[in-house]
A and B are shown apart, each in its own frame.
Chain A
Amino acid sequence: ILNVEQSPQSLHVQEGDSTNFTCSFPSSNFYALHWYRWETAKSPEALFVMTLNGDEKKKGRISATLNTKEGYSYLYIKGSQPEDSATYLCALRTSYDKVIFGPGTSLSVIP
């Protein structure tokens, strides 16, 4: 059974702090890696799709890196704001239709 892990499970940071979380996955089954941002009572919102080893993507204050050889991806948030509070999901795509989600990292940004 393939397992996608995320750490930490949750964290609380002060407004203005930068933070990062990790997604770990089995490197032998890699097709693509997705990051989603999921606010309570809303739909998960796609942040990044990453396919190449060494990929680095950026969207505003949020960026992500990918290492397919060792099986991890980092998500960074620079200067956290209260509106960044959400659960951040990573998902390993092992084929065109097969996606395995991690349990998520719940971020709370304290004003």
Chain B
Amino acid sequence: GAVVSQHPSWVICKSGTSVKIECRSLDFQATTMFWYRQFPKQSLMLMATSNEGSKATYEQGVEKDKFLINHASLTLSTLTVTSAHPEDSSFYICSARPGVHNEQFFGPGTRLTVL
């Protein structure tokens, strides 16, 4: 149980295009989902927290107009990187938390490369 999927697992796009990454909880309902970013040899950095049906809460320094997060249902959250540039190239990983459970369950991540 507690499986989270992410799609796509990797994506290469041209500078200026937008990329959407999906995060799905497959066998549970996730009231809260989290989006993280990881630069090479660094920690996972929390970008934003989203609760189903409400606006995401972004961490300091994360541009909400650049990284659009939608948590439209209890099993799906999307992260859209708008007008992507090479500096947005990174590893993006989501996690989902069921209800008031203490644990987050992670997806396998998405490797984004912007040319």
| Interface positions of A (Cβ within 8 A of B) | 4, 32, 34, 36, 41-46, 49, 89, 91, 97-104
Contacts and interface: CB of A to CB of B under 8 A. Distances in A.
A16 to B, nearest CB: 29
Interface centre among A43, A49, A101 (most CB of B within 10 A): A43
Please indicate which of the listed interface residues B4, B41, B104 has the most CB atoms of chain A within 10 Å of its own CB: B104
Nearest to B102: A49
A34 B101 CA distance: 14
A99 B104 CA distance: 10
**Interface of B, helix, strand, loop or mixed by DSSP:** strand
Interface stretch (B11-19, B42-50, B66-74): B42-50
B44 A97 contact: no
Contacts, number: 43
Nearest to A42: B108
B108 A43 contact: yes
22 contacts: A4-B43, A32-B102, A34-B103, A42-B108, A43-B106, A43-B108, A43-B109, A44-B93, A44-B106, A46-B103, A46-B104, A46-B105, A49-B103, A89-B43, A91-B44, A97-B34, A97-B49, A97-B57, A99-B34, A100-B46, A101-B36, A103-B41
B105 A101 contact: no
A103 B45 CA distance: 10
